[in-house]
Amino acid sequence: MVIKMRLDKYLSECTGKTRSQVKALVKKGLVTVDGVPAKSPDMKIDETSSAVTMDGKTLSYEKYVYYMLNKPEGYVSATNDNLHKTVIDLLSGENTRDLFPVGRLDIDTVGLLLITNDGALSHDLLSPAKHVAKTYEAILDGIVTDEDITMFKTGVDIGEEKLCKPATLKVVDIDENKGHSRVYITITEGKFHQIKRMANAIGMDVLFLKRLSMGSLVLDPALSPGEYRRLTEDELNSLRSK
């Protein structure tokens, strides 16, 4: 049996307008369903097959949406914040109703962030039981040694009851003059400030941190900081298959 949706709910979810706003548009005769002016905002429609227009524009219903964002510095990973702009604010012109960031990047951390309204997928990606790998590029204010790499591999003590799960620390470049190391770090958990605390545990601070990947999802190099795009079907299917 097909469960039909109320027209006002459909209009609200497609456009981001409030129920009262879309009801007013229906009363003005600005909404049609299958070519016929809608008589009531509470009429039931099939969101998968009904042809709906509002003020002459054809609407398309999507239950879930998925955006890849290249998060810049200065934005918080939240849906709203009283002090700072949020990553949701970067999706200008989109219907951001019910959207949220999957996981959290600190205000000074940049890179890959998935934004969606799919709670089930978010849970799968963030669940500790799933061990989804996340890879970061970092610049550390010290010279990484083989002992540091081994410590990451065996489990870093960041002051909690249990050691961190085994992680990968790979040196990409060493700047001898500045005494800095550019590294890739891959973790399978999401403890609070985990990368920064792991770096502190080997006597270093993180000077720069950028997330490159989360599971099978890899940051698109074509996205400049602050830019976003929808996930492709291949990317989405790959995420769901994990």
Residue numbers annotated as active site: 106
> Residue 119 corresponds to which tokens in the numbers above?
């709670």
Transcribe the chain into DSSP letters. -PPPEEHHHHHHHHH---HHHHHHHHHTT-EEETTEE-S-TT-EE-TTT--EEETTEEP---S--EEEEEEPTT-BSSS--SSS-BGGGGSTTS--TT-EESS---TT-EEEEEEES-HHHHHHHH-GGG---EEEEEEESS---HHHHHHHHH----SSSSPPPP-EEEEEEEETTTTEEEEEEEES---TTHHHHHHHHTT--EEEEEEEEETTEE--TTPPTT-EEEPPHHHHHHHHH-
Give Cα separations from 37 to 53, 128, 186, 242 (angstroms): 9, 50, 55, 45
Q: Measure the CA–CA gap between 192 and 84, rounded to whole angstroms.
A: 20
